[in-house]
Amino acid sequence: MGRWGWRLFESDQDLDVVLNLTEDLEIDTDSWEYSLSAMVHQTDMLAPADARALYSTTEYANSLANVTIPYIRQKFDTDNLGERLFAASRAKESDMNDFMQQSKYRTIILGALMMRAGARINAADLQHLRDLVPQINCNSRRPLFEDHGFRTPGKAQFLAALDHYQPGIARSFQEPTCFKCGKIEAEIGHKPLQCKKCNVATYCSKNCQRDQWREHRVSCVPLEQRFLLNV
């Protein structure tokens, strides 16, 4: 489950959506040199040690920023592919049998991927993404059974990305963000503060940390206990 889906792309659910997105929307990307999933990676305790080591290297960061991201941005922006993907995803949202809102959440993930790439998103699709957010199920932690939708830090992260969206500017969802307001370092003006107990949750200020404590405390578990309990 990754980091229990606290933020976007930190859960198996989100990664599965990414892996299946173009196939579900009937867009052929087999000839692409880099897939959409190449823009996001899982860096938590469940990722293999060699993968975590690779993701932390300067070479990987440079390749991601200067090769992979620009390549996928160009793909999104060529022949209005991004708009066509949005249209295909929105068309599937009306499925009356989609009780778990998987189609709507797929549109959310598509929007996050396009912001990750810095691809063009038109005003109507940006507004649609905003309108979708309150319709998506949101939990403070991983439920015991069906796992769909946001965790609240991911919801805040997504809304902050929408607020600061600029075409051509890639938005990293792996960068530390405030678990309460979703802002990144460039918007906060300093590195986010880290929760001293779990060493995972980050905040832009003591005020945000205090405001989110009632929710965060249920998952505020030291590293060694997270390995044992997986909660």
- What pLDDT, in 10s, does the model give residues 184-201? 999 999 999 999 998 889
H helices of 78-164, where?
81-91, 102-117, 123-132, 152-163
**How far apart, in whole angstroms, are the C-alpha atoms of residue 76 and residue 83?**
8
Which residue stretches of the chain have pLDDT < 50? Answer: 1, 228-231
Angle (deg, nearest 10), helices 123-132 and 152-163 = 160
Beta-strand runs (E) in the chain: 138-139, 150-151, 193-194, 202-203
C-alpha dist (Å) from residue 225 to 62, 98, 168, 209: 34, 36, 41, 21
Domain spans of the chain? 12-174, 176-230
